[in-house]
Amino acid sequence: MHRRLLALSAVLACNPADTPEAGESGESSGGASSGGEAEYTYYRDVAPILASKCTSCHSAGNIAPFALESAAEAKMWAPALAAAVMQGTMPPWPPDPACNSYDHDRSLSDEQRAAIVGWAEDGAPEGDASEATPAPEPPPAIDYDVQLQLPAAYTPTIAPDEYRCFVLDWPAQQRRFVTGIEVRPGEPAIVHHVIAFIAPPAQVATFTELDAADPDPGYLCYGGPGGGRPGWLGAWVPGGDGGALPEGTGIRVEPGSKIVVQLHYHTLPGAGPDRSTLALRTAEAVDKEAFMLPFTNPKWISGEQPMTIPAGAAAVEHAFELDLSAALPVLAPSAGLPSGTPLRVHALALHMHTLGVAGSITVTGPGGDRCGLTIPRWDFNWQGNYRLAEPMRLVAGDRVRLACEWDNSPAHQPVVDGAPQAPREVQWGEGTGDEMCLGTVLVTAD
């Protein structure tokens, strides 16, 4: 690792107050401030990193609290940038790279981190604008043919976070396959993430009743949308690249269905009303039907085998494993795939609540031991769906293991009304104070 990265790491660890305040020069010997040529400059070294990894969120009016679109903005926040990349909190990319490789990876290489830290340490010199690297090419545009807007504008009122579900009409009169998904926030500064679900015709009445029972647009929801566990359609987070499913695949939506979207609002004072739009690309047919399979231990949900997290316990793990291909008739009854069908896993995700600290999805069995997804430092506010760079094949007998760890000690309690809550025993549940351990995998038949 670069010497400047190590040096600033020691400074931050020992005395964060010694770092320069935003807007100060942070001059040090050997850099641009002492008359020598700067080792790193904004235009040559830092701007390309910010453009490819940061500005999709850190732009005017977006979810991030400040913009990083100009040399002046980047210089103002240089000390904070250096601290964030040193601590690994930005850009937000929870997966452990030692487990697997994923498309649209937002993490920084050691060289990129060294460039930001060295540039900040030398006073954030701008350098020569003529050395600016061209902005990265945007991903190919997706032609979205279905636009589903929230039925009414909504301004969240629960601070600092509110989870609200909206029931959207599905317009197609024939079977369609969703092959791409994108969210267009109406108020980008407050839309933190969105999860979309498919409520098939048999479940529609349940969700319309939940919606009707709340006098405001939509209805409050936290751990999930409630109402009979609809199928997963997809997820979106600010800064996420691409919205297309793997080429030739799509998720089936039957006529008469509803789309239920859960929006996580990061409530801000003075924020305007949101009326976000879910944009979908659909096709009449696909080469391979895709299925988003949520899985967990059903005995945790029923209480037959409680997922107990004792009050005050600092390290509690629960795990569950199953043969995913053997469980297909239960997990995807509408798929019509026989038990034991070989599968291709294209993407994975984990879900816990605020006491979670780590989680993983791994595989053992005839197909070999493999790691699908490991989140070594769980953050409820940075959940995502991670598409594998190379799909993972599962055969009959392969055991998919889901493991979650929680910290229920006094030091790791949620803050309510400005005060941390006292530890209490926690079980599986949908509520804010409950917990979950849920895995999801996007699969096709092999």
Please report the DSSP string for 315-379 in residue order: -EEEEEEE-TTTTHHHH-GGG-PPTT--EEEEEEEEE--TTEEEEEEEEESTT--EEEEEESS--
C-alpha pair distances (Å), 445 with each of 311, 325, 365: 43, 9, 18
| pLDDT by 10s per residue, the chain, length 446 | 333 333 333 333 333 333 334 334 333 333 444 456 789 999 999 999 998 888 888 988 777 889 999 999 999 999 999 999 988 888 888 999 999 999 888 888 899 999 999 999 999 999 999 888 776 676 677 789 999 999 999 999 988 889 999 999 999 999 999 999 989 999 988 888 898 999 999 999 999 999 999 999 999 998 789 887 788 898 887 766 557 899 999 999 999 999 999 999 988 788 789 999 999 999 999 999 999 998 999 999 999 999 999 999 999 999 999 999 999 998 888 788 899 999 999 999 999 999 999 999 999 999 999 999 999 999 887 888 899 999 999 999 999 999 999 999 999 998 877 788 899 999 998 877 899 999 999 999 98
Q: Which residues pair with 358 in a beta bridge?
A: 405
CA neighbor of 39 nearest in space, from 133, 128, 119, 110 = 119
Q: Which two tokens stand for residue 438?
A: 């849920």
Domains 139-286 and 288-446 alike in fold: yes
Contacts of 62 by beta carbon, 8 Å cutoff, 6+ apart: 56, 188, 189, 238
139-286 — its CATH code?
Answer: 2.60.120.310
Find the largest Cα–Cα distance for the chain.
73
CA neighbor of 218 nearest in space, from 207, 205, 203, 233 = 207
C-alpha pair distances (Å), 441 with each of 118, 139, 232, 400, 438: 40, 24, 10, 10, 10
CA angle 21, 27, 28 (to 5 degrees): 125
Question: Could you tell me if 400 and 322 are in contact, meaning their C-beta atoms sit under 8 angstroms apart?
Answer: yes
Long-range contacts of 372-375, Cβ-Cβ distance < 8 Å, separation of 24 or more: 372/99, 372/100, 372/345, 372/348, 372/400, 372/441, 373/95, 373/99, 373/100, 373/348, 373/349, 374/95, 374/96, 374/98, 374/99, 375/94, 375/95, 375/96, 375/350
- pLDDT of 333 reads 83
Instruction: Identify the burial level of 190 via C-beta atoms within 10 angstroms of its C-beta, where 0-12 means exposed, 13-18 middle and 19 or more buried.
Output: buried
The CA distance from 165 to 219, in Å, is 5
Residue whose entry in the numeric block shows the structure tokens 């751990």: 223
Domain boundaries, given as residue ranges, for the chain: 3-131, 139-286, 288-446
The CA distance from 402 to 351, in Å, is 11
The CA distance from 260 to 93, in Å, is 26
The CA distance from 215 to 213, in Å, is 6
In three-state secondary structure terms, 4 is helix
> Nearest 5°: phi and psi at 295?
-145, 150
CA neighbor of 168 nearest in space, from 198, 131, 127 = 198
Q: Which residues pair with 371 in a beta bridge?
A: 362
- pLDDT of 62 reads 79
Topology of domain 288-446 in CATH is Jelly Rolls (2.60.120)
Q: Which two tokens stand for residue 338?
A: 């026989």
In three-state secondary structure terms, 153 is coil
- The type of residue at 125 is P
H or E segment to which residue 291 belongs = strand 288-295
- pLDDT of 418 reads 79
**Dihedral angle at the C-alpha atoms of 58, 236, 377, 290, nearest 10 degrees?**
-150
The CA distance from 324 to 339, in Å, is 9
- Percent helix, percent strand, percent coil in the chain, to nearest 5: 20, 30, 50
